[in-house]
Amino acid sequence: MHKFIDLFCGIGGFRIALQRQGMDCVFSCDNDQHVQEAYEANFGVRPAGDITKVKNANIPRHDILCAGFPCQPFSRSGNREGLRDPRGRLFYEIVRIANYHKPSLLILENVKTILTVDEGQVLGEIQNRLNKIGYHVKYSVLNAGNFGLPQKRERVYFVCIKKDSRLLYQEPKAVDLSKFLKDVLLPDKQCDDLVVVRDDIHITKNDPPEAPAPLQIGYVNKGGQGERIYSANGHAVTISANGGGIGARTGLYLVNGRVRKLHVDETKLVMGFSTHHKVSEGIAGLRQLGNAVIPDMVRHVYESVRVV
């Protein structure tokens, strides 16, 4: 059985994906106490905390290193300070651990804007650092909406293969465009407290035909971030850990004649998690989902690595 570690583990998207492949998670870490509690509730083990305080020798040997390293320093909704941000510098902890343990494969996930921060210098640093410790680095920008999830979510996946291994990565191809937001919605009565009641709601278009993308049909207030209204016949907008506006984190949707946000269980489903997967209560849980890695996307990336 292959062994893997789950760095900056969040609520366990990597772990779900690779355990379904028959692998054994031998170490996980996350510095957020609420995340640790949610992870333990789902997997029965509490992640380690601050990775900078964990010695290499205290991390078990592993074949695969997974890390959804903190995206805030690279995100449009953050300050985009890249590797100058202390959270961005956690990338070097990945380098430290990989250099010591030499796993055959690294799978890393982040927001796609990491590719252009500092005019591409962050990307160059990532490639150079991993190349120096013995890894070929490839990356793909993939939209979960092209892989059977009813959400537009573009993320970059770095696939780093040890130079002396016989592994080869080929970018996964889109597999399914058939699921829409309306396919995962809960009964109206479970979502009454999520309905937006205002006198400045503007529906400007009729509900369009089904399409695999967010379909804006109106707006609230001035239509800024978090104030756009979308059809349930399309995809959800990107689930965000932060963001502002009335529809912050989930977006706003016209559902059976009412404008509302998504229920936390609907948010789990558009992120590819079971409704039974545990997250913290309230905004903290939505934030955890917005920061999560989609298990099915990890699966597609992993299955695109083969032995030659």
- Residue 17's SS3 state is helix
- Type of residue at 199: D
Decide: 34 and 284 in contact? Cβ < 8 Å: yes
β-strand pairing of 167-169 with 216-220:
unpaired
- Residue 260, H or E segment: strand 258-260
d(CA 255, CA 77): 27
The DSSP secondary structure of 152-221, one letter per residue, reads: --EEEEEEEEETTS-EEE-PPPP-B----GGGGPPPGGGGGGGB---S-EEE-SPPPPP-SS--EEEEET
Active site residues: 71
Which of 23, 27, 43 has its CA nearest to residue 35?
Answer: 43
